Chains A and B, each alone.
Chain A
Amino acid sequence: MTSYPNMATVEVGDELPVMHKRAEEAELFLYSAASFNPHRIHYDRAYANYEGHEDIVVHGPLQGSWLTQFITDWAGPNARLLSVQWQNRASAFVAEELRFSGSVISVDQVNSSVELEIYERKEDGSVLMPAKATVKLEQS
């Protein structure tokens, strides 16, 4: 049985388990299809290059959904994601190794919620996406 954080156990500084993602062409194609997104930069390398991208571009909302997965995998099914916000600082490309890490930066006992600070980084450590989120956790 996986144990999830709750308001009795969570502490400022707790780290979320690191999550790795890497999307190949087929996975990006599948996301384009599932999100009904025909934008050519997500499947046509020559066109992506023509627009100035070094390779096929990973969709912004796909990285957003990886972010919510990173949070809900840690928080567990009984928790509720209340808010999330992120900035897209640079593009991620096909087959790049991407890494999500994050920690608890505040605990609000009154509202039974915690605030998280999260980063999606490339292999060289550069930040693609800084993010924050608020999650409501169970009391115990």
Chain B
Amino acid sequence: MSSSLIPPESLARVGEILAGPVTVRIDRRESQRYAYAVGDLNPVYFDDGSAKAAGYRTLTIPPLFITHALVTPEPASKLRTDGLYEDSTSVVLKVARMMFGGEEWDFLEPVCVDDEITGTTRLLDLDQKEGKKGPFVRLVRETTFTNQDGQVVARSRQIGIAR
């Protein structure tokens, strides 16, 4: 039986809001820069006529761009040596390294340019498991995205693996 990698004070944070709510208006040029960077030149992101012909109110956005649209810029003085920003809300674990384990997305309503999107991220789950290479922690953050009409447009669960 290995000792717990999850301090009790971290376990107590399950359900807590880690980030947000943050509200952002979806910007056409930012969305299109994202699409170019991905190499996804779908006309529904660039041409209003194509978007409307496909049943959208106006230009829609690359599905995962919604996460990046909500990123809040911070001053460079808050950058750590690894290039990431200091995060006062990060969950404390007795581990050396956090890895990107995957994501799960539900898309419930279309998201279009000029929509006002609010994102709120919670600590959904924190669980210690036994793997072949020893114990690890599975950390799940869930972000809920709502639009200006109060509709939930998307949910994402980001899974982190820490050992």
A117 CA to B11 CA, complexed, in Å: 34
A33 interface residue, CB < 8 Å from B? yes
Partner of A34, one of B37, B81, B100: B37
B101 interface residue, CB < 8 Å from A? yes
Could you say which residues of chain B place their CB within 8 Å of the CB of A129?
A: 102
Could you say which residues of chain B place their CB within 8 Å of the CB of A68?
A: 40, 62-64
A47 touches B82 (CB 8 A): yes
Q: Which of under 10, 10 to 19, 20 to 34, or 35 or more describes the interface residues of B?
A: 35 or more
B44 interface residue, CB < 8 Å from A? yes
B55 touches A78 (CB 8 A): yes
A60 touches B85 (CB 8 A): no
A69 touches B107 (CB 8 A): no
A72 CA to B44 CA, complexed, in Å: 11
Could you say which residues of chain A place their CB within 8 Å of the CB of B63?
A: 65, 68, 81, 84
A85 interface residue, CB < 8 Å from B? yes
From 53 to 99 in chain B, residues with beta carbon under 8 angstroms from any chain A beta carbon are 53-55, 62-65, 67-68, 71, 73, 79, 81-85, 99
Q: What 0/1 readout, one digit per residue, does chain B (83-125) give for beta carbons within 8 Å of chain A?
A: 1110000000000000111111111001000000000000000
B50 interface residue, CB < 8 Å from A? yes
A86 touches B103 (CB 8 A): yes
For B82, give the chain A residue with the smallest CB separation. Answer: A40
For B42, give the chain A residue with the smallest CB separation. Answer: A72
A77 touches B54 (CB 8 A): yes
Partner of B54, one of A44, A78, A83: A78
A77 touches B50 (CB 8 A): yes
Q: How many residues of A contact B (CB 8 A)?
A: 38
A36 touches B71 (CB 8 A): yes
A78 CA to B67 CA, complexed, in Å: 23
B50 touches A64 (CB 8 A): no
Minimum distance in angstroms from A3 CB to a CB of chain B = 15
For B84, give the chain A residue with the smallest CB separation. Answer: A39
A140 CA to B30 CA, complexed, in Å: 34
Minimum distance in angstroms from B56 CB to a CB of chain A = 9
A35 interface residue, CB < 8 Å from B? yes
For B72, give the chain A residue with the smallest CB separation. Answer: A36
A38 CA to B73 CA, complexed, in Å: 11
A41 interface residue, CB < 8 Å from B? yes
Minimum distance in angstroms from B89 CB to a CB of chain A = 17
Partner of B105, one of A72, A73, A83: A83
Minimum distance in angstroms from A87 CB to a CB of chain B = 4
> Residues of A with Cβ closer than 8 Å to B?
21, 27, 30-31, 33-41, 44, 47, 51, 60-62, 64-66, 68-69, 72-73, 77-78, 80-88, 129
- Return 11 A-B CB contacts under 8 Å, by A number: A21-B39, A27-B37, A27-B39, A31-B37, A34-B33, A34-B36, A34-B68, A65-B62, A65-B64, A77-B43, A129-B102
